[in-house]
Amino acid sequence: MPVAASAIYFLNLRGDVLINRLYRDDVGGNMVDAFRIHIMQTKELGTCPVRQIGGCSFLYMRISNVYIVIVVSSNANVACAFKFVAEAVVLFKSYFGGAFDEDAIRNNFVLIYELLDGKITNMLGTCYQPDSETQVLSIQFEWNGILKSVSTVLVGVSPEFEIALYTLCFFAGEEDNHVQLGPYFVNIKCYRLGRDKIGSAFPIAEN
């Protein structure tokens, strides 16, 4: 059952926003200020992980030195929300080498946005859920008020597969490497750093 979240925030212990994603327009962008003022500054973080402020519910959990805060404006399935957080952290750790803390988030913010918009957003009930066979998604996200260009993420593949794919295209191919992954046609873009180092490698979905 989806959580129907309006927003999700990743905060450090000082209350600074590391990453946030607004999914609905039924909450203001300053809702994180309400969390800081009414929960963090009043030292009530350890009393109850669910609080209602100004008609919105804040569901939060601390993982390492990071608070994950889900904001909902309607009735929420609290069990689903915390299940989502737990499963999302497991997914993040699988990509971050087992770590999930403030440094891991800062170092992997683009990947986190891709995961939130591609692989696990459907758990929040905020977007179209691809069927179980979908393995390539085109996504777009906003960073610091700037709408980034459309990018592509591979869904349901292991990090080892992606690394092997990019490495093979880098050593055996060119800057543009048109490959077929199952039913999908993808351009593996490889940029070099010098002559023998990978500067960047990523997939681009092709029609």
The three-state (H, E, C) secondary structure of 87-110, written as one string: HHHHHHHHHCCCCCCHHHHHHCHH
Over 60: is that where the pLDDT of 198 sits? yes
Model confidence at 101, in pLDDT bands (50, 70, 90)?
A: very high
pLDDT 10s digits, 159-187: 778 888 988 998 888 999 999 988 888 99
Class (C level, CATH) for 7-126: alpha beta
Sign of the dihedral through C-alpha 147, 153, 159, 162: negative
Q: Which phi and psi angles does 117 have, rounded to 5°?
A: -85, -20
Query: DSSP character for 38?
Result: I
Predicted confidence at residue 121, as pLDDT, reads 52
The candidate with the shortest Cα–Cα distance to 102, out of 131, 138, 147, 65, is: 65
Tens digits of residue pLDDT in 5-55: 778 899 998 888 898 887 776 666 677 788 888 778 776 666 678 887 777
pLDDT of residue 154: 77
Q: Tokens 């919105």 correspond to what residue?
A: 56
Q: How confident is the model at residue 129 (pLDDT cuts 50, 70, 90)?
A: very low
Domain ranges of the chain: 7-126, 157-205
Give the span between the Cα atoms of 92 and 84, in whole angstroms.
Answer: 12
Write down the pTM of the prediction.
0.56
Model confidence at 131, pLDDT cuts 50, 70, 90, reads very low
